[in-house]
Structure formats: C-alpha cells, structure tokens
Structure 1
Amino acid sequence: MPLPDPATLPLWLSVTLFAAAGGVIWLTGSRLTVRLDSVAARTGLDRAFLGMLLLGGITALPEVATLISASSLGRPALAVNNLLGAAAINVLLLAIVDGFVGRSAVTGIVAQPSTMMMAATAMIVLVLIAATVTIGDVAIPGIGIGVACALISLICTLCFWMSATHDRRSPWTVDEDGDKRPDTQPTAPVTERSLPRLWLEVAGCGVLIFATGFVLSRLGDGLARQLGLTSAAVGFALMGPATALPELGTIIAALRINRPEMAFGQVLGTNFVSFALLPLGDAVYRGAPIIATLGRFEQLSALLGATLIGIFMVGLLEHRDRTVLRMGIDSVLVILVFIAGAATLIQL
C-alpha cells in the first residue's frame, strides 16, 4: 500500500506530525548516549571512539534516511542541504549546550588528542565539498555515481580511520594538570543490564531513529511544497535542525554525565558517516550527479560548517577555561558566526 503524499495533508497535521517525529528522535538520542556509556564502562572501549563510531553513526541515520528518500523523490538540493545544515547546526548545538550544562568551557575539559584530529579532518571534508560544488562533477561511466561524490566518500572513510586510531598513534597527550574537568561533575549511573541487552537496546534506538528520519524526510518535502519554499532552504533550515535532534539529545546527555569526548565524537563523527554515504544519493537519483546540481547556497553552507568547526578547533588547542555567560568564548563565537552565516544564506 503506497504511503499518502504528505503535501495532501492539512498543514496543521503535517506540522504536528513533523514535531512529533522530531520529539521521538530527540528522546531516543538521549537514551542512546546513556546506553553507550554503559557499554563503554562494561567493555573498556574508548568513549571518544564510541562517540564517533556508534553515536555519530546512529545519530546520522536521520540524515541518511533523508538523503535516500529526497534523492529518490528527485530533490537532491533537499538531500544535500539537510546534510550540510545538520553539519553546521550540530556544532551550534554543542556551543549552546555548553552554556547550559556545567560551568567550564567544553573545549577546556577535553583531554584526548583524537578530538582535535576529528575536528581537523571534518574541516577538510567540508572544504572539499565546497570545492567540488565549485568545480562540478561527472558520472563514472556505467555506474552513475559522480567521481567527486565517490572521492568525498573515500576521503571521509580515511578521515574516520585516522581519527579513530589517532590516540593509539599520538606521540603526545594532555597533562593531567591541563585537564580542567571538574571532579564534581556527575557521571552516568551504573546499570545492572547485561551487555547483550545493552547492545540490543542500542540497536533498537538505531532502528527507531532511522525509521523516524525517513518519516521526517517525507514530511519535510511535503511542507516545502505546501509552504512554497525551495528545497535548499527547507533542507538547511527545516530538515537540518529536525534531523539534528538526536545529536541534541546525545550532546546534552554526554555533557551531563561528564563525557565531552563523546559529545565531540558524536558531532564530528556524524559528518563522516553522512558524507561517506553520499554515493547512495547518486545511486537513487535519476539525473546528473548530485554534486553537479548544487550551487552557491551549498558552497556557503559547507564553508559555514567548516568555519564553525575551526573555531572549536582553536578552542581545543588553547585548552583554556575562559567563559562568557557560562559558556566558552569559542562557543560564543560559534553562535555569532552561525547567525551571520544563516543571515547570508537567507539572502541567497
């Protein structure tokens, strides 16, 4: 039985369903963080690695669902701008939550070098996307996937590997005196659940997030047509925040239990997973390679995300605890630059 076209629903119902789906994603993301922290405690796995691999991978599922759904519907701008919007908005959410959870600058309590490697490589990926949009893309004969799209996917995979293995290869660490993590910060409660049950709950959260993300993409496309908005604007300003809701839940949960590496790993790891799967959009889109259909809006979106990550990169290198309004100075700058960038995108 075919699904009803969301554009035929009453506007109030579309908005209500969209908000409800977003709420499900947010609550599931919050629960996911606590479960994965328990897995780390039971298995001894590195929390930054778990944040990037599992938190980043699972919370990227709404973006992946939107990428596939929107591309199959012939809306590549909606698909890609959802990814780019989420990349910038995830960093913004980390900055905002910094002001509400704890009293230390979030970049001043991160003690793992891999976090800086993640930030540096995530910037490279976003700048590369802006460059390929400028240059254009051509399809690989007989496959239909763009050359630039495949290159981005390959580089994302390489960057993911470099970040995941960096702590083992790194010749330096942050001194204990430099780790300003407050001893009074709460930690996650110890759960009595068995390890297999924890993994089962993590998998269940992933399935629910992916399914709800698919629903969000359909509803977002319907709202775009009902409101007469462009796919680019809806992808960045509507779908981006909506599919970033699991990230919001996981960021809040990670910082509340004093796991800043998990928060950064999740925010940056989501980018690697999302952009590594760009070829899926090319595979289901009937037309030119997705990259070839994009323009100035997407260029600026990608550069905005890279700039925001760069600001946090400076904060991680400085590793200081100077705060304004209970948040790090770098978090304040991230918020201001995002506002300026969003205003510029509106003009486009």
Structure 2
Amino acid sequence: MSLLPLWLLITIFAAAGTVVWFAGIQLSKTTDIIDSRLHLGSALGGLIVLAVATNLPEIAITVSAAISGNVDVAVGNILGGIALQTVVLVALDAFGKRGKDVKPLTYRAASLTLVLEAMVVIAVLAVVVAGSQLPSTLVFLRLAPAGVLIAALWVTGLLLVRRAGAGLPWHENGNAPASSRHQSGHRNRTSSSNPDASGSGGGTKMSIGTAVAMFAVSAVATLVAGVVLEVSGDAAANQLGVSGIIFGATILALATSLPELSTGLQSIKQGDDNLAMSDIFGGNAFLPVLFLIATVISGKAVLPSASATDIYLTALGILLTFVYAIGLIFRPMRKIASMGVDSVAVLCLYLVGIAGLFTIVS
C-alpha cells in the first residue's frame, strides 16, 4: 500500500473511517439488544462485549505485530490511543445532547460504578508503567508478571463492577440524585429508547438471531476497516513526512477511536449516558490485557519494549481518567462551550500533553 499515491491513500483512509463509524453505530444498537435479551447486565455489555468489539482493530494489529516479533509496534499500538480514547468523552459531552438546559455528561451519568471503572483503568495503567521497568528476561512459560497482573486486575475489576451493578451500600445504590436512571449498574430504559425497536422506528421487534448476526457483521467490518485505517494511515504519514509517533498518537488514534465515538453517541441518543462512559473506560482497561496475549504469542516480555513516548502517553491517560473520576464524584453543572468543566480540563490537558509529546520526539 505504500506504493499508492497520496490522494488514493487518503481516500482509502476516509472510506475505512466511514465504515468504522457506521459499524460502530450498529455495534451499539445490537449490543443493547443482546444485553437486554440475554440479561447480561451492562457491566458485561459495556465492559466486555462492546469494549472488545470496538477495539478489534487494536487486537488485530497487536496479534499481527506479536506474530512477526515486532513487540515495540504492539506496545505503541496498545498505549498510543488510550489518552485520545478518553478525550472521546469530551466529544460525547459536547455533541451527545445539545440544549441550554442539558446538564454535562458526568452530571447525567454519575454513579459510583463508573467511578469504580475509572479506578480500574488507573490501576491497570499504573501496572503498565511499573511493568515497563522490569527486565525483558523476566519471562516464565511465555508469561511475564506485569501482563499476568494486568489481566488479573481487569478480571477483578469486572467482578467488582458486576457486584456494584447488583447494588451498593450507599444512598440510591451509589447513583447520584437526578442522574440518568439506570438498572444493573448502567442500563437506562425509556419508552423512546426501546432496545428491541428496529432502526426504522416502526416498533418491529428484532430477534436475538438477527441482532447477533448484525453484531458479527459489524464487528468484522470494524476489524477489517480498522486494519485498513492503520496501514493506509501509516503509509500516508510516511509520504507526508509526519513523525510516526505523532501521527499514531493523534490522527491514527482518532481514526481507530471512531468505533467508541459512534457507539457513544448512539448510546447517548438511546438515553444511556452511562453505557457511553462505560464503553470508554472498559476499552481503556481492556487494551493493556493485550500485553498478555502478545507475550504468549511472541514469547518475549512486551512491556519492557515500551518507549519513553509510550510511557508518557500512558501517564497522560491516567491523568485524564483521574479528571473524569473527579467529575463523576463532584458532578459539575457549569458548562463552557457546551461542555462540562471537567471535559474542558481534559481537552486542555490533552492539548498540553500533545505539545509535550512534540518536545520528546524532537
């Protein structure tokens, strides 16, 4: 693909991004239906099914890099987009629901369960930073301690979130007053957001078989289009002379975050503000679990291959997640440019962080 002209690469990149966008909308709709029909609870729906599906491009790229032995590519792919995926919440806050009387996203979605999910992300990323300092020779039975601990933390987080979804020993089960009404941790059902309704709005019931089939097709489309995004984007960046690190942390990260953006906007449209945030936190907590898979495939300790920029972006992801956790607790009502003050803070910190990234690369 590197031999193709620049205009064609840009066209392919844009086309793949469009496919990812619309596939993400279908993933959100069908996940809602599957979750409701099979009674999975949104902890599983948001943190496993949807989070894994929207990160299929990253999974494919990581597995491919591990098979070829390019573990540094696997590390950069996993850590490069976590900060920007958190910034997706800024877009969801600004464009998810518009109106003078609409409260910020963290005010509407506030619950202790979401705070717990944010803490899981911070814990996992903290282990990433620590694990990057371990010797690369610390491997036993194709397993590295940091990867195993990350996977254990992720599973423990799922169990805790599932338990929190059944109820917390707090007022209103840990759901803030006047926040989005939701059941089993996150799910919000209203007559206007019937998960069984078809996209035509005619009230036709969608069978579980149809929902699963649509989910599978959308997942495959996300996977294929996501890989095309990565390959075409990398080739275009080389022709433009853009640093691979900068391009990967900005344009490519934004493109591969399109599934999270489209599913988040769809979730908010369906009245499920909590699932929109859960998908972002769930995806960010899940991505480092790929280090375990990459180590098993390659037989090498992957995390010690992390570069200074990888660790820098990981720290930035921790900081941005912390800001949103604070926002979920304090629930700021003030809005600036259609965003909550926490989203404004996250956007500013991200822009400053990217400016700092330029200084590292240069």
Superposed CA offset, 1:42-71 (max 9, x none): 445433541222111110111111212334
Moved more, 217-226 or 250-259: 217-226
Q: 1:319 to 1:136 in 2, by over 3 A?
A: farther
Instruction: Indicate yes or no: 2:165 matched with 1:167.
Output: yes
Partner of 1:187: 193
Q: Which amino acid aligns with 1:305?
A: G
How far off its partner does 1:322 sit? 2.4
Q: Contact 1:65–1:217 at 8 Å: present in 2 too?
A: no
Superposed CA offset, 1:6-51 (max 9, x none): 2222222222212211211111001211222233444454335412
Instruction: Indicate yes or no: 2:318 matched with 1:306.
Output: yes
Partner of 2:342: 330
Q: Distance in 2 between matches of 1:316 and 1:256?
A: 20
Q: Distance in 1 between matches of 2:155 and 2:351?
A: 31
The structure 2 residue matched to 1:149, chosen from 128, 147, 150, is 147
Q: 1:259 to 1:131 in 2, by over 3 A?
A: same
Partner of 1:126: 125
Where does structure 2 lack aligned partners over 5 or more consecutive residues?
182-187, 199-204
Specify the SS of the correspondent of 1:278: helix
TM-score, normalization by structure 2: 0.84
Moved more, 220-229 or 197-206: 220-229
The structure 2 residue matched to 1:28, chosen from 23, 26, 29, is 23
For residues 1-348 of structure 1, what are the structure 2 equivalents within 5 Å? 6-102=1-97, 103-143=102-142, 145-168=143-166, 170-172=168-170, 173-174=173-174, 177-179=177-179, 187=193, 190-191=197-198, 192-285=205-298, 288-348=300-360
Q: Contact 1:75–1:231 at 8 Å: present in 2 too?
A: no
Q: Contact 1:29–1:205 at 8 Å: present in 2 too?
A: yes
Specify the SS of the correspondent of 1:125: helix
Where does structure 1 lack aligned partners over 5 or more consecutive residues?
1-5
Moved more, 66-75 or 270-279: 66-75
Q: Contact 2:189–2:271 at 8 Å: present in 1 too?
A: no
Identity percentage over the alignment?
27
Moved more, 203-212 or 150-159: 150-159
Q: Contact 2:9–2:236 at 8 Å: present in 1 too?
A: yes
Q: Contact 2:110–2:179 at 8 Å: present in 1 too?
A: yes
Q: Contact 1:156–1:275 at 8 Å: present in 2 too?
A: no
How far off its partner does 1:216 sit? 2.8
Moved more, 9-18 or 99-108: 9-18
Q: Contact 1:160–1:269 at 8 Å: present in 2 too?
A: no
Alignment length (residue pairs): 341
Q: Distance in 2 between matches of 1:142 and 1:57?
A: 26
Q: Distance in 2 between matches of 1:337 and 1:176?
A: 27
How far off its partner does 1:92 sit? 0.6
Q: Distance in 2 between matches of 1:94 and 1:153?
A: 25
Q: Distance in 1 between matches of 2:78 and 2:311?
A: 13
Q: Distance in 2 between matches of 1:325 and 1:230?
A: 32
Q: Which amino acid aligns with 1:294?
A: A
Q: Contact 1:58–1:206 at 8 Å: present in 2 too?
A: yes
Q: Contact 2:190–2:271 at 8 Å: present in 1 too?
A: no
Q: Contact 1:220–1:239 at 8 Å: present in 2 too?
A: yes
Q: Distance in 1 between matches of 2:260 and 2:224?
A: 16
Q: Distance in 1 between matches of 2:225 and 2:348?
A: 31
Q: Contact 2:85–2:284 at 8 Å: present in 1 too?
A: no
Partner of 2:201: none
Specify the SS of the correspondent of 2:288: helix
Superposed CA offset, 1:220-271 (max 9, x none): 4434544455543343223321211101101111112221111111101112
